[in-house]
């Protein structure tokens, strides 16, 4: 049983204690209880399958423990955890579902939107936007979630998706353009 005081320690203090050794597993249980559900839910939002997301979450929690030494505290621990989560899930999907972004991208029709698209912000409905988001390629969906939901830096996003920072910037721009293009097609012009 954990000391109730330990439960109140912040993530970085716990990581420091785990890195020191001896009672690492006890402190990791606290980390586990804080993050397992969050990681599982994030996996579910990516793979859309309960059993797979449960299995992936277990694998990711193990990976987190094994890679703790590489966490240097340069970003929030939660950002590091989610970056590993995205990285693990995208590797899983690339392998299992044979995700192939370049081919998908070249097969898609997309007009670059005119600059007056800013005016659309008044008429865009969040729920409808989320529906359109599901039409994007998984890698584009992840780019948008990582940047605008988890507020990750482009460097971290690039590392998680195993692309360069400049590729992350360009793909994010394309993902945003495509999302708005599809939205206008489905709900404004349509």
Binding site for other proteins (CB under 8 A): 91, 94-95, 101-102, 106, 112-115, 117-118, 120-121, 124, 126, 129, 144, 148-149, 159, 162-164, 166-167, 169-170, 173-174, 176-177, 179-180
Q: Which is nearer to other proteins, 1 or 95 (CB)?
A: 95
Q: Which is nearer to other proteins, 43 or 132 (CB)?
A: 132
Non-local (6+) Cβ contacts of 130 within 8 A are: none
CA 50, chain centre distance (Å): 17
Q: Which is nearer to other proteins, 9 or 144 (CB)?
A: 144
Q: At its nearest, how many Å lie between other proteins and the CB of residue 114?
A: 7
Q: At its nearest, how many Å lie between other proteins and the CB of residue 30?
A: 28
Q: At its nearest, how many Å lie between other proteins and the CB of residue 80?
A: 17
Q: At its nearest, how many Å lie between other proteins and the CB of residue 170?
A: 4
Question: CA distances (Å), 131 to each of 47, 93, 99, 176, 188, in order?
Answer: 16, 21, 21, 14, 14
Q: At its nearest, how many Å lie between other proteins and the CB of residue 64?
A: 20
Q: Are 80 and 65 a contacting pair, CB within 8 Å?
A: no
Q: Which is nearer to other proteins, 63 or 169 (CB)?
A: 169
Q: Which is nearer to other proteins, 12 or 149 (CB)?
A: 149
Return contacts of 97-104, CB within 8 angstroms, 24+ apart. Answer: 99/137, 99/138, 99/139, 101/137, 101/139, 101/140, 101/171, 104/137
Spatial distance between the Cα atoms of 61 and 30, rounded to a whole number of angstroms: 12
């Amino acid at each position: 049983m954990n000391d109730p005081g330990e439960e109140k320690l912040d993530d970085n203090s716990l990581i420091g204690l785990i890195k020191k050794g001896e009672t690492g597993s006890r402190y990791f249980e606290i980390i586990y209880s804080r993050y397992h559900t969050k990681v599982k839910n994030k996996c579910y939002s990516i793979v859309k399958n309960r059993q797979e997301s449960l299995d992936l979450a277990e694998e990711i929690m193990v990976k987190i423990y094994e890679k703790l030494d590489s966490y240097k505290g340069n970003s929030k621990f939660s950002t590091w955890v989610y970056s590993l989560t995205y990285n693990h899930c995208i590797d899983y999907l690339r392998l299992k579902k044979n995700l192939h972004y370049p081919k998908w991208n070249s097969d898609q029709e997309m007009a670059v939107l005119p600059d007056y698209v800013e005016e659309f912000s008044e008429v865009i409905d969040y729920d409808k936007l989320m529906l359109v988001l599901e039409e994007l390629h998984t890698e584009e969906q992840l780019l948008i979630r990582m940047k605008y939901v988890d507020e990750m830096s482009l460097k971290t996003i690039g590392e998680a998706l195993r692309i360069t920072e400049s590729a992350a910037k360009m793909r994010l721009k394309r993902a945003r353009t495509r999302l708005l293009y599809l939205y206008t097609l489905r709900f404004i012009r349509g």
